Structure 1
Amino acid sequence: MKAFDGRVAAITGAGSGMGRELALELARRGCHLALADRDAEGLDETVRRAQAIAPALRVTHQVLDVAERDAVFAWAAASAERHGRINLVFNNAGVAFSSTVEGMQPADLAWIVDINFWGVVHGTQAFLPYLKKSGEGHIVNTSSLFGLLAQPGMGAYNATKFAVRGFTEALRQELDLMGCGVSATCVHPGGVKTGIARASRVDKSLIGLLIDDEQQAREDFEKLFMTDAARAARLILEGVRKNRRRVLVGADARLLDLIGRLLPAGYQALVVWYARRMRRVAARQMRAPQDQRPT
């Protein structure tokens, strides 16, 4: 797919972050939109902004939980009927959950797996027949930098994002064998400036091991976000246009991917060393007088 003008794209997680920016960038390129998100207010804002960019485009939207398989299939059917066809699917919706493996609760694990992994599976299976019918199509599944490298305290998140990677790479190979005009790309964002950290769940099992204060940990994590969501959207669409199997978003993703390639097992020791170092730095800051602490 070399151009997006006149095509139809379905996007999950379109109410904020990368999902919203994908919608807005596609609107600028003349692509009709079928948008979905659990956040009705955020979704309405994305629709308003997309229509302001290109009033002639057809933009439909649906409040949706991607964990609900029947609802996703119903949305796919309705979107195909309203637009006449579907050419692109961005399975972008995702959440974060931090916990030790020992401390994670089954309900939290089920929550993140249902959204981050099953949401991708549902979106892929629901829309694939319509993409094949259109004669040209592309599936874009969002994994993460942590679908390439693991991180302590993120075992559940790592598991879902590694699963998306394996699922999408297998899908791409199957589509290549079919020669049906449909392709697939797996996206691995590094730190992208979205609201995922603020909306994440953090289990108390991390306190004393990796963090001292939950709110401070969220703020520190957000400081590592390097890439603007709008730039991330442009990089993803460029990857689609070039039919790339994998898109790395951000310098941090490219660097850590390289480290993982050079040290496929050894990188773990580096991560442990860094985590211990950051704990020592945080402890010194906590002991420092209030007026000497960094802001």
Structure 2
Amino acid sequence: MKDFKNKVAAITGAGSGMGRSLAVLLAARGCHVALSDINETGLAETVKLLDGSGVKVTSQRLDVSEKAAVFAWADKVAADHGKVNLIFNNAGVALGSVVDGGGYDDLEWIMNINFWGVVHGTKAFLPYLKDSGDGHIINTSSLFGLMAVPSQSAYNASKFAVRGFTEALRQELELQQVGVSATSVHPGGIKTNIAKAARMDDSVTKIGMSPNSSAKFEKLFRTTADDAAAQMIRAVEKNQRRLLIGNDAKAMDLMVRLFPSAYQKLVSMSSKKLG
């Protein structure tokens, strides 16, 4: 997809961060947008930013963990816009806990949003993307979908799952030759609200970390949401299989490739310093 003019993009998590930036940048290129977020206030703010953009903007409050709601939204987007060319499965949450301390409720919460939300969005929109003949699925994994980190077992599991799901999907779409492609996105530290909104369980104290440690990690984030969104759009244009966003993601990916097992010791040592 080289031209976004008069295309239609659906974006989850559009109430802030990368989702909001994607909406603004795509609209500037003449792409109509269908926006969703569970945060109605943030969603309304994004919609307001698009006033006068000259493209059609629709929005809906949406909990991506609710399968029926996601499918109903996909049907509504197709009905309102006449077609759908892109789905950005961008909504996500974070959780810090250790395996023998975190509860099943938190595990189910993060998997339902980060993984099943991506699955629901992909399966709900895929028929419409095929009908368009020029479609693309962009699923947001993470740097932590490439490497494991102490206190992030649940988040790691959700993002590794997104990566595997999307890479298999990409291959299937190529074999089917249906005019639809897919990209797995792996951001490093992006200046969004995800760290501030993260759930941190007191169990992280078992490994010498503070429940407030997310604030320390947030100070290391360098890439802006606008820059991340621009890279995602370019990845669609180039039909990239995988997109690494940020020098931290690129450096850590290289470390994992060079030291597929030994990198864990290096990460553990760094975690102690940041704890």
Pairwise TM-score range, normalised by the shorter structure:
over 0.9
In structure 2, the partner of 1:70 is 68
- Does structure 1 residue 157 correspond to structure 2 residue 155? yes
- Does structure 1 residue 139 correspond to structure 2 residue 137? yes
Counterpart CA distance in 1 for 2:208 and 2:190 is 22
**TM-score using structure 2 length:** 0.98
- Structure 2 unmatched ranges of 5 or more: none
Which structure is larger by alpha-carbon Rg, 1 or 2?
A: 1
Counterpart CA distance in 1 for 2:206 and 2:103 is 18
- Structure 1 unmatched ranges of 5 or more: 280-295
Superposition RMSD on alpha carbons, in Å? 0.9
Deviations 1:84-119 (A, max 9, x none): 000000000000000001111000000000000000
| One-letter amino acid of the counterpart of residue 20, structure 1 | R
Deviation at 1:250, TM superposition (A): 0.4
Counterpart CA distance in 1 for 2:77 and 2:197 is 28
| One-letter amino acid of the counterpart of residue 5, structure 2 | D
In structure 2, the partner of 1:243 is 239
For residue 276 of structure 1, the aligned residue among 246, 252, 272 is: 272
In structure 1, the partner of 2:91 is 93
Counterpart CA distance in 2 for 1:190 and 1:107 is 26
Counterpart CA distance in 2 for 1:272 and 1:43 is 38
Deviations 1:36-71 (A, max 9, x none): 00000100110110224x1x2100001000000000
**TM-score using structure 1 length:** 0.92
Q: What is the count of residue pairs matched by the alignment?
A: 275
Contact 1:12–1:35, Cα closer than 8 Å, also in 2: yes
Counterpart CA distance in 1 for 2:3 and 2:260 is 37
- Does structure 1 residue 4 correspond to structure 2 residue 4? yes
Counterpart CA distance in 1 for 2:103 and 2:26 is 39
Percent identity, please: 59
For residue 251 of structure 2, the aligned residue among 252, 255, 271 is: 255
Counterpart CA distance in 2 for 1:277 and 1:131 is 46
| One-letter amino acid of the counterpart of residue 260, structure 1 | V
Counterpart CA distance in 2 for 1:30 and 1:237 is 13
Deviation at 1:276, TM superposition (A): 2.6
In structure 2, the partner of 1:220 is 216
1:1-295 to 2 correspondences below 5 Å: 1-52=1-52, 54=53, 56-212=54-210, 214-215=211-212, 217-279=213-275
Deviation at 1:273, TM superposition (A): 1.7
Contact 2:134–2:179, Cα closer than 8 Å, also in 1: yes
Deviation at 1:208, TM superposition (A): 4.9
Deviation at 1:219, TM superposition (A): 1.7
Counterpart CA distance in 2 for 1:169 and 1:88 is 17
